[in-house]
Amino acid sequence: MRDSPPLWTRHANGIVQLRLPLPFALKQVNAYLLQADDGWTVVDPGLRTQEAEAAWETFMAQAGIEWRDIARIVATHYHPDHYGLAGWLQARTRAEVWLSETAGFYARRLWGGDETFSAELVAAFRAHGLPEPLCAGVLANLESVKRQVLPHPARTRTIRAGDMLSFGGARWEAIGGEGHAPGHLAFYDRERLIMLCGDQVLPDITPNIGWMAGGDPDPLGSYLSSLDRMAACEVVTANPGHREPFARYGTRVAELRDHHARRLVRMAALAAELAARDKGRFAAFAMCEALFGERIGGNPHNLRFAMAETIAHLERMTFEETLVRDRGSDAAAGASRIYYRAAR
* Sequential pLDDT tens for the chain (344 residues): 457 899 999 999 999 999 999 998 889 999 999 999 999 999 999 999 999 999 999 999 999 999 999 999 999 999 999 999 999 999 999 999 999 999 999 999 999 888 899 999 999 999 999 999 999 999 999 988 989 999 999 999 999 999 999 999 999 999 999 999 999 999 999 999 999 999 999 999 999 998 999 899 999 999 999 999 999 999 999 999 999 999 999 999 999 999 999 999 999 999 999 999 988 999 999 999 999 987 787 899 999 999 999 999 999 999 999 999 998 866 555 578 999 999 87
Q: What is the pLDDT of residue 2?
A: 56
Q: What whole-number distance in Å separates Cα of residue 56 and Cα of residue 66?
A: 11
**Any domain includes 221:** yes
Tell how far CA 99 is from the center of its chain: 15
Backbone angles phi, psi at 245, to 5 degrees: -55, 145
Q: What is the pLDDT of residue 288?
A: 96
**Any domain includes 321:** no
- Judge contact between 30 and 17, C-beta under 8 A: yes
Tell how far CA 95 is from the center of its chain: 24
Q: What is the pLDDT of residue 300?
A: 93
What SS3 state is found at 157? strand
CATH at 160: 3.60.15.10
**Any domain includes 90:** yes
Q: What is the pLDDT of residue 160?
A: 98
Q: For the chain, what is the domain count?
A: 1
Q: What is the pLDDT of residue 66?
A: 98
**Any domain includes 123:** no
Q: What whole-number distance in Å separates Cα of residue 165 and Cα of residue 150?
A: 27
**Any domain includes 274:** no
**Any domain includes 314:** no
Buried (b) or exposed (e) across 272-298, using 16+ Cβ within 10 A?
A: eebbeeeeebbbbbbbbbbbbeeebee
Domain residues for the domain of 58 are 8-112+154-256
Q: Measure Cα distances from 207 to 1, 2, 50, 197, 219 in Å.
A: 27, 24, 26, 11, 12
Q: What whole-number distance in Å separates Cα of residue 275 and Cα of residue 130?
A: 17
**Any domain includes 289:** no
**Any domain includes 185:** yes
Tell how far CA 82 is from the center of its chain: 8
